[in-house]
């Protein structure tokens, strides 16, 4: 290569790099990814063994259920709604799974019972929200109470899960190249994530979700099926919560009414930190995954440190949430 051409390249390349800016809609996701990488880098510099790939995989292992919840919550928040019921539905799912198994149902029947009940709750919530104009916040609050109440009606005590197929699935491990391993739950979560991303970004349903989130009345005037979308996202969220409940039941091998208290907040935080606008219409499922991983990294950070108490998790999640909503606010204000 001659010196002149390399000189030309060296003048244009940085310029092009400087001139390049990613599409605006990717900016929040890129910010979250950068923060995630930065945090992980800081952790690996500070603590021995932090950079081990198994640590990264364990983020998925410990947060598989949160990822599934986050995917469902992303759909809801993209339409400008919110679903506060997910934590209670997770608890209810663990209870249904544990009690049906205890009653001697086969594992498949228990799984189906859980998925059906979660989906039905989600659909009912969507119907109430859309057809009766009840605010999503208050309708999902009602379902939250409802699901917790049902938990207590099933049992006030914790019910252990001893079913053979459940325990073998829970204790199973999927070997990965390089001697690393994950649990089967991670595979379920990754499949849910992939399906969620596919629906949202590649299908007509997904495009309509964004349209409804951008402006419900415009979407309606365009002849889009707003009712289907609005009921649909809550149904998806209900299904995801039930599935997450199953994963949580596998994770803890028990059903308990007090499981997953406050998990809806973690899910909402993950979605928001992942760059999805709370006003709806903009965001990506992949951002939610980064959000979940970021929350997981904070926990790993704190457990690696050893001197920090676990309540710093809550404080740092709150602080991150704050930073991201303020950034969101500034971004949307500039465009307005």
Partner 1 sequence: MRELVRRPLFWPTLALLLLITLNTVVTPSFLSVRIQDGHLYGSLIDILRNGAPVLLVALGMTLVIATRGIDLSVGAVAAISGAVACVYIAGSDRPAAASTALVAIAIAVVCGLLLGLWNGFLVSVIGIQPIIATLVLMTAGRGLAMLITDGQITTVVNPAFKVLGAGFVATLPVAILIALAVFAVTAVLARRTALGMLIESVGINPEASRLAGIHARTITWTVYVFGAFCAGVAGLMIASNTSAADANNAGLWIELDAILAVVIGGTSLAGGKFSLLGTLIGAMFIQTLATTIPTIGIPAEANYLFKAIVVIAVCLLQSPKARAALRSRRPVRTVKADAA
52 phi and psi angles, rounded to 5 deg: -60, 130
Residues 6+ apart with CB under 8 A from 80: 212, 213, 216, 278, 279, 280, 281
Nearest approach, Cβ of residue 18 and partner 1 (Å): 31
Nearest approach, Cβ of residue 7 and partner 1 (Å): 49
What's the number of CA atoms in the CB half-sphere (13 Å) around residue 25?
8
Q: Are strands 254-255 and 159-160 parallel, antiparallel or unpaired?
A: antiparallel
Nearest approach, Cβ of residue 148 and partner 1 (Å): 4
- CA 293 to chain centroid: 10
Q: Which is nearer to partner 1, 106 or 318 (CB)?
A: 318
Q: How far is CA 316 from CA 42, 311, 328, in A?
A: 16, 9, 18
Q: Which is nearer to partner 1, 190 or 325 (CB)?
A: 325
What's the number of CA atoms in the CB half-sphere (13 Å) around residue 67?
27
Nearest approach, Cβ of residue 134 and partner 1 (Å): 5
Q: Which is nearer to partner 1, 19 or 262 (CB)?
A: 262
The residues of the shown chain that bind partner 1, judged by CB under 8 A, are 82, 128, 131-135, 137-139, 141-146, 148-150, 152-153, 156, 257, 265, 268-269, 272, 278-279, 309, 311-315, 317-319, 321-322, 325-326, 329, 333
Q: Which is nearer to partner 1, 13 or 152 (CB)?
A: 152
Nearest approach, Cβ of residue 320 and partner 1 (Å): 9
For residue 27, count other CB atoms closer than 10 A to its CB: 14
Residue from 28, 19, 32, 21 nearest 332 by CA: 28
Q: Which is nearer to partner 1, 193 or 324 (CB)?
A: 324
**Secondary structure class of 160 (helix, strand, coil):** strand
Nearest approach, Cβ of residue 156 and partner 1 (Å): 6
Radius of gyration of the chain (CA): 22
Q: Which is nearer to partner 1, 14 or 318 (CB)?
A: 318
Nearest approach, Cβ of residue 257 and partner 1 (Å): 7
Instruction: Give dist(CA 75, CA 47) in Å, integer.
Output: 37
Q: Which is nearer to partner 1, 202 or 258 (CB)?
A: 258
Nearest approach, Cβ of residue 152 and partner 1 (Å): 4
Q: Which is nearer to partner 1, 116 or 156 (CB)?
A: 156
**Secondary structure class of 8 (helix, strand, coil):** helix
Q: Which is nearer to partner 1, 88 or 100 (CB)?
A: 88
Do 173 and 61 meet the contact criterion of CB atoms below 8 Å apart?
no
Residues 6+ apart with CB under 8 A from 335: none
Structure token digits, residue 139: 């309708």
Q: Where are the alpha helices (DSSP H) in 47-135?
A: 53-78, 86-102, 107-131
Do 246 and 118 meet the contact criterion of CB atoms below 8 Å apart?
no
Nearest approach, Cβ of residue 277 and partner 1 (Å): 10
């Amino acid at each position: 290569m001659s010196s002149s051409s390399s000189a030309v390249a060296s003048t244009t390349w940085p310029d092009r790099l400087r001139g390049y800016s990613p599409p605006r809609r990717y900016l929040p996701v890129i910010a979250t990814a950068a923060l995630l990488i930065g945090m992980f880098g800081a952790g690996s510099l500070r603590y021995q063994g932090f950079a081990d790939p198994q640590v990264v995989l364990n983020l998925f292992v410990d947060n598989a259920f949160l990822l599934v919840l986050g995917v469902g919550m992303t759909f809801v928040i993209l339409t400008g709604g919110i679903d506060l019921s997910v934590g209670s539905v997770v608890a209810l799912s663990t209870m249904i799974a544990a009690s049906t198994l205890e009653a001697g149902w086969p594992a498949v029947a228990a799984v189906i019972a859980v998925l059906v009940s979660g989906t039905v709750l989600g659909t009912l919530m969507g119907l109430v929200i859309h057809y009766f104009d009840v605010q999503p916040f208050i309708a999902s609050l009602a379902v939250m109470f409802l699901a917790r109440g049902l938990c207590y009606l099933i049992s006030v005590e914790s019910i252990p899960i001893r079913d053979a197929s459940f325990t073998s699935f829970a204790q199973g491990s999927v070997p990965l190249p390089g001697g690393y391993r994950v649990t089967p739950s991670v595979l379920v979560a990754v499949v849910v994530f992939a399906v969620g991303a596919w629906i949202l970004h590649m299908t007509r349903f997904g495009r309509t979700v964004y349209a409804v989130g951008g402006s419900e009345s415009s979407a309606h005037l365009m002849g889009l099926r707003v009712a289907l979308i609005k009921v649909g996202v809550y149904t998806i969220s209900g299904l995801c919560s039930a599935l997450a409940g199953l994963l949580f039941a596998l994770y803890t091998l028990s059903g308990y009414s007090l499981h997953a208290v406050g998990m809806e907040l973690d899910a909402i935080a993950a979605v928001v930190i992942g760059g999805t606008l709370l006003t709806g219409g903009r965001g990506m499922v992949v951002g939610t995954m980064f959000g979940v991983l970021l929350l997981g990294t904070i926990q790993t950070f704190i457990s690696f440190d050893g001197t920090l108490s676990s309540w710093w998790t809550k404080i740092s999640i709150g602080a991150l949430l704050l930073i991201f909503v303020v950034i969101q606010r500034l971004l949307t204000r500039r465009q307005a």
